[in-house]
Amino acid sequence: MTIRFDGRVAIVTGAGNGLGRVHALELAKLGARLVINDFGGSRDGKSGGSSSEAALAVVEEIKALGGAAIANGANVADFEQVSAMVEQAKAEFGRVDILINNAGILRDKTLSKMDMADFRAVVDVHLMGSAYCTKAVWDTMREQNYGRILMTTSAAGLFGNFGQANYGAAKMAVAGLMNMLAIEGKKNDIRVNTLAPIAATRMTEDVMPEALLKAVRPEQVTPGALYLVSEDAPSKVILGAGAGVFSSVRLVETAPVYLGGELTPDTVAAHFAQISDWSTAVPRDDANQQVAAFFETAMKGLKA
Ligand code: NAI
C-alpha cells in the first residue's frame, strides 16, 4: 500500500508556516491539490493578520514542485471568510476531500494574569476556527460521501501545562469536537481524527530547549498527519507525533463502582481508591456505553 492523494483536494489552515506548511507541501508532493490558508499574523495573532503573503509563498513552493495550489487569507475565526474560502476551493477544484485544522496562536499567561480577551481570542482561533472550517466543508463532504478531517490538539490540552489555560482549554475542546463529528460523519464516510504534534516552529522556539528544537522537525510529524487524512485512515483517533516517535492517546474510564442509594461525601471518599483503580480502565465508543455501564452496575448493586 502506498498512500497517495491524486484527485483529492485539501484545505490546510495556517499553512503559511510551521507544521501546516509542511503538511501542505507533502500533500502536494503526493498528488493533492491544495488550498493554502493563512492570514499572515504574528505568533499571538495581534499583528499582521489580513494578508495572504505567507500563504502565497507556500503556493509558489508547491507550483515550483509542479503541484496545484491556491492561496487564501481567511481568518479561521471568521465564519463568513471561511465559508468564502470553501466556495473558492470548490470553484477552483470542484470538491473538498480533506480539511486540516492547523491554524493556531498562543497568548500564554497564568490565569491570574490573563486578560479574558486573550482567553477568548485563543478559543476563537483554535476551537471556533476548527468548528467554522469543519462546518463550512461538512455538507460538501456529506454530499460526496467522502471526507477526511484532522484537528490539531496539544499535550497542553490533553495532559495540562503551566500558563496555558486558554490554549489548553481550546485544544482539549477540539478533541471533543472530533468525538462528536467522528460519530456524526460515519454514515457518509467522513473520518475525523486529531493530531497532537511536537515540532520546532515559531510557536515553540522559545518554549523548548535548543537541543530539543534541533531534534523535532515538522517533517517528522507530517507523515502521521497524512496517514490520518488518507483514504484508509482510522477515525476518532488522537495521534501523538514528534521527533520520529508516535503514540495513541485516548480517554479511558475505570470500572463503575456501585456505592448504594444513600450516600454521603464520606462514602465516596472511603471508596475513592477503588473508584480510581486504573487497572480496571476501558475506553468507551460513545456516551451511551458509559450510561449503559452505569445502569448495569446500579441494577446489579440494587439486586445484591
Ligand atoms: P506556527 O505559528 O508556525 O503556524 C501557525 C500558523 O497559523 C501561522 O502561519 C499563522 O499565521 C496561522 N494562523 C494563526 N491564526 C490564524 C487565523 N486566525 N487564521 C488563519 N491562519 C492563522 O505554529 P505551529 O507550531 O506550526 O502550529 C500549528 C498547529 O500545531 C497549531 O494549532 C498549534 O497549536 C499546534 N501545536 C503545535 C505544537 C508544536 O510543537 N509546534 C505542539 C502542539 C500543538
Q: What is the mean pLDDT of residues 111-131?
A: 98
The Cα–Cα gap between 149 and 235 comes to: 9
Instruction: Provide the CA 180 distance to its chain's centre, in angstroms.
Output: 13
Decide: 111 and 165 in contact? Cβ < 8 Å: yes
**Ligand 1 pocket: which of 13, 19, 124 to mutate (most atoms within 8 A of CB):** 19
Label the pairing between strands 98-100 and 9-12.
parallel
pLDDT of residue 162: 97
- The distance in angstroms from the start CA to the end CA of the chain is 54
> Which residue's CA is the closest to the ligand 1 atom numbered 43?
154
> Which residue's CA is the closest to the ligand 1 atom numbered 32?
104
**Number of other CB atoms surrounding residue 290 within 10 Å:** 13
- At 136-169, the pLDDT tens digits run 999 999 999 999 999 999 999 999 999 999 999 9
Give 17 Cα–ligand 1 centroid separation in angstroms. Answer: 8
Fold category of 9-249 in CATH: Rossmann fold (3.40.50)
Give 151 Cα–ligand 1 centroid separation in angstroms. Answer: 12
Closest CA to 101 of 35, 163, 3: 35
Decide: 87 and 71 in contact? Cβ < 8 Å: no
> Which residue's CA is the closest to the ligand 1 atom numbered 3?
18
- At 122-144, the pLDDT tens digits run 999 999 999 999 999 999 999 99
Query: The pTM is what?
Result: 0.97
- What integer best gives the mean pLDDT of the chain? 96
With a Cβ cut-off of 6 Å, ligand 1 is lined by: 13-14, 16-20, 37-41, 43, 45, 54, 75-77, 102-105, 125, 129, 152, 154, 197-199, 201-204
Count of residues making up the chain: 304
DSSP 48: B
Q: Partners of 241 in the beta sheet?
A: 197, 246
Give 18 Cα–ligand 1 centroid separation in angstroms. Answer: 7
**Number of other CB atoms surrounding residue 44 within 10 Å:** 13
Residue 25 cell numbers, joined = 507541501
Give 167 Cα–ligand 1 centroid separation in angstroms. Answer: 12
- Does 167 participate in catalysis according to the annotation? yes
E strand segments, 3-104: 9-12, 33-37, 69-72, 98-100
Ligand 1 atom with the shortest distance to the CA of 216: 40
Provide the pLDDT confidence category of residue 1 given band limits of 50, 70 and 90. confident
Ligand 1 atom with the shortest distance to the CA of 198: 40
Contacts of 304 (CB under 8 A, 6+ apart): 258
SS percent in the chain: helix, strand, coil, step 5: 50, 15, 35
**Ligand 1 pocket: which of 38, 85, 107, 204 to mutate (most atoms within 8 A of CB):** 38
The residue from 132, 146, 167, 227 that is catalytic is 167
Q: Partners of 247 in the beta sheet?
A: 240
Contacts of 257 (CB under 8 A, 6+ apart): 271, 274, 275, 297
Label the pairing between strands 69-72 and 33-37.
parallel
Provide the pLDDT confidence category of residue 47 given band limits of 50, 70 and 90. confident
pLDDT of residue 59: 98
